[in-house]
Chains A and B, each alone.
Chain A
Amino acid sequence: MNKTFDRYASIIFLVIGIFFVVESRKIGASSYGSNVGPDIFPIGLGVLLILLSIKLFIETIKMKSETGKGAKPDYKRFLIIFAAAVLYVALLEPLGYVITTFLFLVIGFQVLEKGGWVKTILIAFAFSFGIYYVFVNVLQGSLPGFPI
């Protein structure tokens, strides 16, 4: 458990709770025939979330701070893969499914473990073409094809 994370989290949840309460009050009271409108549920939950996050904040004060244990997370590897995934998502429609998937998989395989290029390319190729072919031609689904 991480004390700093919990403290920030409690503040973020508090803000979310306040946000929902404030925004719910703007919802038009257009519920005819009933005095139970569409705003009552989110307002109640927002208040509950505010109370719970205050409770969490108090708990973090009492908590003894623990120093991080174990190996440091491997941020570099993760950031490269995550960035590749973001690019994959952003370019999926303009560049088409096969090209983006192939590139993403090649990057992913190589970042996790360098080497084995032949296997990497074969698996990435088989996956991207295989999924595209089966989905579009056999199952009649629709995926962004190739850039024209």
Chain B
Amino acid sequence: MEAVQFLMNGFGVAMQWHNLLFAFFGVLIGTAVGVLPGIGPMSGVALLIPITATLTSGLDPQSAAASSIILLAGVYYGAMYGGSTTSILLNTPGESSSVVTALDGYQMARQGRAGAALSISAIGSFVAGIVSLLGLTLLARPLSELALSFGPAEYFSLMLLGLCAVSGLAGGSITKALIMTVAGLLLATIGMDSISGVSRFTYDNAYLYSGLEFLTVAVGLFALGEVFRTILDRDKEDGSIAKVGRILPTRQDMKESTAPIVRGSLLGFFIGVLPGAGATLASFFSYIAEKKLSKQPEKFGRGAIAGVAAPESANNGASGGAMIPLLTMGIPGSGTTAILMGALIMYNVQPGPLLFEDNPEVAWGLIASMFIGNVMLLALNMPLVKVFAKVIETPAKYLLPIIIAISIFGVYAVQFNTFDLALLLICGLLGYFLSKNDYPVAPLVLALVLGPMIENNMRRALTASNGDFSIFITSPVSLIFLVIGALWISIPLLMKMRGRSVIINEEG
């Protein structure tokens, strides 16, 4: 098998001692990020980009990119493990993909089975992580070869599909989500136009020539916006933390949760591959599916272990699945993967079909490191779960100002100017007001990352067709993408008109 050979080379990269260290710190910080209610995976990853950029500054560009993406991805899937801890012990999810875990997990904790719930979610996450990585390993080559056959018109439509999918599921109002997407695309046009070399909307401001820095905007909108929200809305911290108790699940627990874990992993993986549908949706769907399949549906909501095992497997499976469109096609399907993509672009590594040919070290090193990271997470989460339970008690008093200070340090360390710091604070304010009023910020960041690529592909396609816009419909592949994109926007709209409630993806 060709893929196995590549994967082995990847392990060669991932097993280098500094990359092992990076993966370890990634998953460790990720677990903490998942546990802390103030920061989610998106702000966690955004905050760490500047820090990894400094840590890897001594390495050559290829291995620097590989090492930092190993750490950042570790934060991403590590947060999926950590998120369950607060759901179970405190009934407050650390991040949105663990919301359903709280339904049965907290009930189990009240019955004194918190340890079993925690360990089963760690086991479920581990199985799902491995399942989704196997899928990623097998699908990576064929998918990237397929994507290589796409021309600019197909790419344009595919990226449009990605944006539609994220906007369609991003919030309560599709109008608002679309406004945020278009605003993100417009912001992406600021700076030097890469095709003609003309500067646009720069007004002789030297900082604007290179465009708005993606990192600054992302850290401001997510991390600072979240901190400002916590300060303003006075998050109440009531509720006592349940005792962890016996950690190992009983044989009965294992028997009851084996099938849900397998189903949750597969479901999560396939939902994760779809753009726009991230970990939150995956956990919701798998919970609903388990309740339907169960012989005793009345036990759900009262401490059924299947109600913990399935969604926790699903959200980790989805985070693995979400790497597929990112790595093979260069289309991030969610806010967090958009930030990962931005990080790769910062290192001049372009995610997409060519990634596996041009930067095999980065692509396969990352995949191999995710295998290692998942093993580390299992090892960390089973015995150390009591330690992480303590992290919950970190007082907000110290946490919030330090997050602001880290944001400012991070942006300054990479950009070296106060213009970006001012932009950071403005984005923080915007992030707070926009998300408070139900304007999702994830589509904006996604659009900011994809904007230049969408524009370049559109103009290359139009140049080839002499300005004839019908090229996007005459190519069958492109037409299919556009139709799916349109459906993605219109179906939730139709369902809402009929009064059906639509599950939205808050993780973005």
Contact = CB atoms under 8 A, between A and B. Distances in A.
Contacts of A141: 54, 57, 413
B232 A73 contact: yes
Nearest to A56: B175
A6 B437 CA distance: 8
B173 A59 contact: yes
A5 B433 contact: yes
A30 B196 contact: yes
Contacts of A143: 412-413
A27 B193 CA distance: 11
B189 A49 contact: no
A129 interface: no
B392 interface: no
A105 B405 contact: yes
Contacts of B429: 82
Interface stretch (B74-82, B270-278, B294-302, B394-402): B394-402
Contacts of A127: 402, 405
Interface in A87-115: 88-90, 92-93, 97, 101, 104-105, 107-109, 112-113
A75 B467 CA distance: 52
Contact of A81 (B57, B231, B422, B466): B231
Given A59-B173, A139-B54, A13 B418 contact: no
A113 B397 contact: yes
A48 B185 CA distance: 11
Interface string B228-250: 10011110000000000000000
A89 B425 contact: yes
A131 B413 CA distance: 11
A34 to B, nearest CB: 4
Interface string A63-89: 000000001011101100110011011
B69 to A, nearest CB: 19
B55 A139 contact: yes
**Prevailing SS type, chain A contact patch:** helix
A1 to B, nearest CB: 6
Contacts of A105: 401-402, 405
Given A48-B182, A59-B173, A9 B437 contact: yes
Contact of A52 (B182, B193, B201): B182
A144 B198 CA distance: 34
Nearest to A36: B462
Given A35-B466, A55-B175, A27 B400 contact: no
Contacts of A11: none
A46 B185 CA distance: 10
A70 B272 CA distance: 35
A20 B186 contact: yes
A109 B412 contact: no
Interface of B: 54-55, 57, 172-173, 175-176, 178-179, 182-183, 185-186, 189, 193, 195-196, 198, 200-201, 228, 231-234, 395-398, 400-402, 404-405, 408-409, 412-413, 416, 418, 421-422, 424-425, 429, 433, 437-439, 455, 458-459, 462-463, 466-467
5 contacts: A34-B462, A38-B196, A41-B185, A89-B408, A139-B54
